[in-house]
A and B are shown apart, each in its own frame.
Chain A
């Protein structure tokens, strides 16, 4: 654990009587894209606030770059860039005035600030409006400017809270590419909080799924799939058989735990592993079915998430 950028153990916090976090434990490797996934109010933003030294009075332990957030908040914040849940920009100031203020506060030299700001404003297509008041911007433009602000100091660790909120598809793609670039090329560490699972799929190296302040699972997508027991599926399009005959496969073939009828003559078989696919195909052919397609189905992040949530609710 010595080299980890972030280590949290049994982190718990409550704003009022109702606890928001109930014993969260995870770690983040250097250069990793780590996701905190969960519904609104799950405790994702609170976790970032604690790690940045904004909230004191939590129980459990937390360290960022080996520093204690309660004691070394300012030192941690110097190394961290944060995209807050709302853009949190000064509407009455222009983009340049905003960036100059935040740059000064982050100890960026004026030359470097000018260079970085110009570069990112150009990248996010904000140069032409950089001298306009931010309150005249659309929601997407504000979010893009907030991303620029987070990147301005070239931080070693980036906290991105709902980075895709309000972004148009082009900007969302740009942010996604930038996240990957920062992590893979520049070696930066990124923690992303999100409840938009479709946009997170394939982006993170590891993720923690939080539900009502508790962590339901943590690991790579494959590990999450295993934890969720969402299982493997295979979709087989077959014709010329009664439904009952197809459904009987779950009683007949070992390793098939369920069959569901989908549209256009397709059936979804829940299987223990891919070795079971061949016996199913043989069974259906033997019964006289005409097989048109066999498609192994990997559960999406959303299916994994919902499955894990269902497990907790049980």
Chain B
């Protein structure tokens, strides 16, 4: 295994993506929206609302039942603090969590689709295939090109998000309250699993679908899973507690590893040329 070549492929792919603003702009818009705009709007907007209205909302028996099912780490903020910090906890500490799963999935599938189908579409793949690298090194280089920025961007967004949601409403919390324990499995366990799943799935589709758009559209099917998580959270069917996060992450990793094994098996020069 020649790692220098693996990284050279990844670097070249990333250089190409950087030169294509139509590829990187959508990748930046979502993180900016999730990690900056939404927490700013929430932390500035919620305190402007009538505090009594928030208090009565939290006192509603149906909502109270819904909230009581939430992980304990959140309940202390929701019920023990003032109504503003309670609402901020619900929105930024709970509801926003699935959005952080869309980000790595989207970034990894865009770059992977660009890297495989895009290269074939632009007819540059043949020169790459004539290089003295093994199929596996080629695969790893392409996977790294998608995985490193996807994870990097997600984690950087998470740090930025954590800073904003702690600093902006500090007056209400009077302490560093975020990240809540439920976020750690999400960011450190589920996110890398989703990146791997996104890349493996995209590579698998790339063997069949020839165009970048076709691959990207098909790989966006994966977002349905994240949307299901979001709906589950909002409706109270599924709470992303620490245990649940670890379990969901385990399932995602399992699916990702199976898909990766199939993708590696199917990835060969002949398949990319025919």
Contacts and interface: CB of A to CB of B under 8 A. Distances in A.
Interface in A41-82: 49, 52-57, 73-75, 77-78, 80, 82
B126 interface: yes
B12 A88 contact: no
Contacts of A73: 269
B131 A77 contact: yes
B110 to A, nearest CB: 15
Nearest to A107: B132
Interface stretch (A90-98, A175-183, A222-230, A275-283): A90-98
Contacts of A194: none
Contacts of B132: 74-75, 77-78, 105-107
Contact of B126 (A15, A84, A90, A133): A84
Interface in B103-138: 122-134
A312 B109 CA distance: 50
Contact of B131 (A85, A97, A106, A146): A106
Interface residues of A, number: 34
B77 to A, nearest CB: 48
Interface string A285-300: 0000000000000000
A54 B8 contact: no
A102 interface: yes
Nearest to B20: A92
B8 A104 contact: yes
Contact of B16 (A75, A92, A105): A92
Contact of B12 (A52, A57, A82, A101): A101
Nearest to A84: B126
A215 interface: no
Of the listed residues B5, B12, B127, B133, the one surrounded by the most CB atoms of chain A closer than 10 A to its CB is B127
B274 A15 contact: yes
B174 interface: no
A195 B215 CA distance: 35
Contacts of A86: 123, 126
B273 A49 contact: yes
Interface residues of B, number: 28
Contacts of A130: none
Contacts of A157: none
A90 B124 contact: yes
A102 B127 contact: yes
B124 A89 contact: yes
A149 interface: yes
Contacts of A102: 127, 131
A55 B123 contact: no
A97 B127 CA distance: 15
Contacts of B52: none
A55 B270 contact: yes
Nearest to A46: B273
A75 B134 CA distance: 10
Contacts of B129: 54
A54 B129 CA distance: 7
Interface centre among A55, A75, A133, A146 (most CB of B within 10 A): A55
Interface string A130-149: 00010000000000001001
A52 B133 CA distance: 12
Given A84-B126, A88-B124, A88-B127, A54 B16 contact: no
B50 interface: no
B56 interface: no
B130 A82 contact: yes
B159 interface: no
Contacts of B134: 74
Contacts of B270: 54-57
Interface string B1-24: 000110011011001100110000
A93 B16 contact: yes
Contacts of B133: 74, 105
6 contacts: A86-B123, A88-B123, A105-B5, A105-B9, A105-B132, A106-B132
Given A97-B15, A104-B5, 4 more contacts: A54-B270, A82-B127, A105-B8, A149-B127
